[in-house]
């Protein structure tokens, strides 16, 4: 195991409050990668001896992005649906069934190649941890294979058999819930860390969602919830009731929802690329932050409601349209995502943390929102290795 000194860091975001402020930012800094973990951080003048050194020439270094919500196992696209939305057709959950049909017809090799393409795209943009859901198979075999494929790329796999009720169960939603909580769960559990459910009109109601989440929890899976995307509803309250790690979307929130998130310690996952792509109202992150709720930013990369893999884009949207400061948005895209996935070893650059980081071709993290759409990530390290 060798050590590498990254020196000449103009701005180093550690997310360590011991260094002051939300981001624990250091200037004229350096850090040591010791094998797969962070060995040391501090001022460049105090850097220890190492096996090798790399001078970054004043570039900024940030923790790798932690994308806590994505749907990457799919086939086809829904570009025509996007075009229709841009001419006034409202988004609804029903479009998911289009992707289900294409995904069922795809081979394992085609699905794996598509996930590989998207994960590579994410890594080039500084994402070092990504959660990947199933949910476009909706049969026992297709959900199991989706999770097996996702597991080739991440440990953060999520069983989302409860994405929508597929067409063959349109007249028997209770029968589909029984499938999701029975044979499908049996096939999916060994490939999953998480269980999720889309609690929304056009998908699953609170009672169905509760039954699905409780079945997964009983099998040792941890809970997440798609909540309050299309309107006010029971999703957030259900997430808090079952002790979910995160309630994602949170586009429409009542004061009671925000109080519940704060009291229960459930992370609010905000997905601004979805509002961008569906022309929906952006959630007001300020309400959540001022109430003490932990906020995560994620891409929700999927072929229907938002086909972006860029966490930098999400940061820019959060700053521009969700009332977050640049520091808050970056923290939510790194440490916030790690909190959503319950991964204390990620999202910060402190001794002992996994050495996941991104080098920006810019002097400061501020350029992520200051220069939207510009590919600023010049290097990405995952567990100490450049990718």
Per-residue pLDDT, averaged over 49-78, amounts to: 97
Q: What is the model's pLDDT at position 96?
A: 86
CB contact set of 91 (below 8 Å; sequence gap of 6+): 85, 230, 278, 279, 280, 305
Q: What is the model's pLDDT at position 97?
A: 85
Residue 93 has pLDDT above 70, yes or no: no
Whole-model pTM: value is 0.97
* HSE toward the beta carbon, residue 284, CA cutoff 13 A: 9
Spatial separation of the C-alpha atoms in residues 105 and 27, rounded to whole Å: 52
Q: Which two tokens stand for residue 307?
A: 């086909």
Q: pLDDT tens digit string along 180-237?
A: 999 999 999 999 999 999 999 989 999 999 999 999 999 999 999 999 999 999 999 9
Q: pLDDT tens digit string along 310-359?
A: 999 999 999 999 999 999 999 999 999 999 999 999 999 999 999 999 99
Spatial separation of the C-alpha atoms in residues 52 and 372, rounded to whole Å: 34
Show the beta-strand stretches assigned E in the chain.
3-13, 25-34, 37-43, 52-55, 60-63, 65-67, 127-130, 132-133, 157-162, 194-199, 222-227, 246-249, 267-270, 295-297, 357-360, 377-382, 385-386
282: three-class secondary structure by DSSP: coil
Query: Is the distance from CB of 128 to CB of 66 less than 8 angstroms?
Result: yes
Residue 255 has pLDDT above 80, yes or no: yes
Q: What is the model's pLDDT at position 95?
A: 80
Residue 41 has pLDDT above 90, yes or no: yes
Q: What is the model's pLDDT at position 89?
A: 81
Local confidence band at 92 (pLDDT 50, 70, 90 cut-offs): low
Per-residue pLDDT, averaged over 284-289, amounts to: 98
Beta bridge partners of 30: 42
Residue 91 has pLDDT above 80, yes or no: no
Spatial separation of the C-alpha atoms in residues 119 and 74, rounded to whole Å: 13
Residue 151 has pLDDT above 70, yes or no: yes
């Amino acid at each position: 195991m060798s050590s590498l000194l990254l020196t000449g860091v103009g701005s180093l975001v550690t997310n360590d409050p011991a260094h002051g402020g939300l981001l624990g930012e250091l200037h004229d800094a350096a850090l040591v990668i010791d094998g797969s973990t962070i060995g040391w951080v501090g001022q460049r003048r105090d850097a220890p001896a190492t096996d090798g050194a790399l001078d970054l020439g004043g570039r900024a270094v940030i923790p790798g992005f932690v994308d806590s919500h994505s749907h990457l196992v799919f086939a086809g696209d829904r570009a025509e649906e996007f075009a229709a939305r841009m001419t006034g057709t409202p988004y609804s959950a029903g479009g998911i069934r289009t992707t289900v049909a294409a995904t069922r017809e795809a081979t394992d090799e085609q699905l794996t190649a598509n996930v590989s393409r998207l994960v590579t795209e994410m890594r080039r943009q500084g994402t070092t941890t990504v959660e990947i859901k199933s949910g476009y198979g909706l049969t026992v075999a297709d959900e199991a294979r989706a999770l097996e494929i996702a597991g080739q790329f991440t440990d953060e796999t999520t069983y989302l058999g409860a994405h929508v009720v597929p067409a063959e169960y349109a007249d028997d939603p209770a029968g589909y819930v029984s499938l999701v909580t029975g044979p499908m769960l049996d096939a999916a559990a060994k490939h999953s860390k998480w269980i999720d459910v889309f609690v929304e009109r056009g998908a699953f109601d609170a009672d169905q969602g509760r039954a699905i989440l409780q079945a997964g929890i009983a099998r040792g899976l941890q809970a997440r919830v798609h909540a309050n995307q299309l309107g006010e509803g029971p999703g957030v309250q259900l997430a808090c009731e079952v002790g979910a790690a995160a309630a994602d979307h949170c586009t429409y929130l009542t004061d009671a929802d925000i109080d519940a998130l704060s009291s229960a310690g459930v992370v609010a996952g905000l997905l601004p690329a979805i509002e961008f792509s569906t022309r929906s109202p952006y959630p007001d992150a300020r309400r959540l932050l001022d109430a003490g709720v932990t906020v995560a930013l994620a891409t929700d990369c999927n072929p229907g409601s938002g086909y972006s893999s860029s966490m930098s884009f999400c940061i820019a949207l959060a700053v521009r349209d969700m009332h977050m400061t640049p520091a808050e948005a970056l923290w939510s895209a790194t440490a916030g995502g790690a909190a959503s996935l319950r991964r204390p070893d990620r999202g910060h650059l402190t001794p002992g943390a996994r050495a996941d980081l991104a080098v920006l071709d810019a002097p400061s993290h501020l350029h992520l929102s200051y220069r939207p759409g510009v590919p600023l990530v010049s290097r990405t390290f995952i567990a100490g290795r450049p990718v």
